[in-house]
Amino acid sequence: MDISIVVPVLNEQRNVSILTRVIDQVMKKNKFSYEIIFIDDGSTDKTYLELKRIHSKNKNVKVIKFRKNFSKTPAYVAAFERVKGDIIISMDGDLQNDPRDIPRFVAKIREGYDLVGGWRIRRKDLFISKKLPSKIYNWMSKKITKVQLHDSDCGFRAMKNYALQNIKLYGEMHRYIPMLFLAKGYKLGEIPVRHHKRKYGKTKYGLKRIVKGTFDLLFLKFWIDYSTRPLHIFGILGIFCFVLGFLIFLYNIIKYGIFLSMGPTLIFSGIVLLMGIQFIVLGILGEMLTRTYYERTNEKFYEIEEILK
């Protein structure tokens, strides 16, 4: 099979039939063999009923239904474990991504790239709720990582199947797929894509994803750079704290003599500093233990209610 198109959806009952029809037209025009995998991520409207109707009439459409909303990363994982195409196209189900760009993704992939991201040059979204979080994320991503894509936050992208199977996704790591590809040494590319205004339904993302995304980005940076040598980062922190503590101790000896007088401000700042370090360490260790647990037990962090093949 040439292409697997993966589409996570949440309350998109008015969009899925239109999207399927346009994808069909594009695939047939370019003579691609393909499948469309919809993941219903706990929709509370009639999205799944509409997907069942589409599936009954279109043999290329497959549907995975979650028991509840597990978020986008588990939706991707459930689909990626079942894709059959040599090239995987991920896109949103809100009609803002244009399936007519798919042949251009395929052409770029066939130039030798392992992942090709979409670049929404003329993005048709509200500034505060969508454009601003994306701009902040892309700025942080370029500063913290080596991913130099203009729009690495864009979920409309093409990936080679063999490369994707070497990528492990957890938490909300779907937005960092380009970073994970780069960490494995895969070649990244980018193409400008069309972007349309949302006609039906409501956006599911906003400013709050900046906070969640920042935590994920910081941890992923640590995981890629220091997961095999954590002492390098923790050792630096340890030395810094030791030197700082020694300097404070020395300052007090010089100021107060051998009989130290530790004021409440100094004690409080020391406690807060130690608490901050402990919280960071506990958070990172917790993430590492979680990933080790899923790797060893192979337990899923989503639950499928039904699959239509």
At 197-209, the pLDDT tens digits run 888 777 665 556 6
Rounded to whole angstroms, the Cα distance separating 87 from 90 reads: 10
Most confident range, picked from 7-21, 127-141, 215-229? 7-21
Q: Which helix (H) or strand (E) holds 49?
A: helix 47-57
pLDDT of residue 295: 65
pLDDT of residue 84: 96
Q: Per-residue confidence at 286, pLDDT binned at 50, 70, 90?
A: low
Q: Per-residue confidence at 37, pLDDT binned at 50, 70, 90?
A: very high
pLDDT in tens, 156-202: 999 999 999 988 887 778 888 998 998 888 999 999 999 988 887 77
Nearest Cα residue to 221 out of 135, 146, 124, 296: 146
What is the average per-residue pLDDT within 8-36? Answer: 96
pLDDT of residue 273: 72
Higher-confidence residue of 290 and 35: namely: 35
Number of Cβ atoms within 10 Å of the Cβ of 145: 19
3-class state of residue 126 by DSSP: coil
Q: Per-residue confidence at 129, pLDDT binned at 50, 70, 90?
A: low
Long-range contacts of 289-297 (CB under 8 A, 24+ apart): 290/170, 291/168, 291/170, 291/223, 294/170, 295/168
pLDDT in tens, 67-108: 999 989 999 999 999 999 999 999 999 999 999 999 999 999
Which of 148-157, 191-200, 271-280 shows the lowest per-residue confidence on average (mean pLDDT)? 271-280
What is the average per-residue pLDDT within 35-56? Answer: 96
Task: Output the six-digit token pair for 264.
Answer: 């409440």
pLDDT of residue 225: 74
Is residue 241 a contact partner of residue 271, using CB atoms and an 8 Å limit? no
This prediction's pTM: 0.76
Rounded to whole angstroms, the Cα distance separating 204 from 206 reads: 7
pLDDT of residue 256: 64
Q: What percent of the chain has pLDDT over 90?
A: 45
pLDDT of residue 253: 67
pLDDT at residue 148 tops 90: no
3-class state of residue 30 by DSSP: coil
Which of 40-54, 93-107, 236-250 shows the lowest per-residue confidence on average (mean pLDDT)? 236-250
Number of Cβ atoms within 10 Å of the Cβ of 83: 22
DSSP string, 87-98: EEEE--SSS-B-
Mean pLDDT estimate for the chain = 83
What is the average per-residue pLDDT within 281-301? Answer: 67
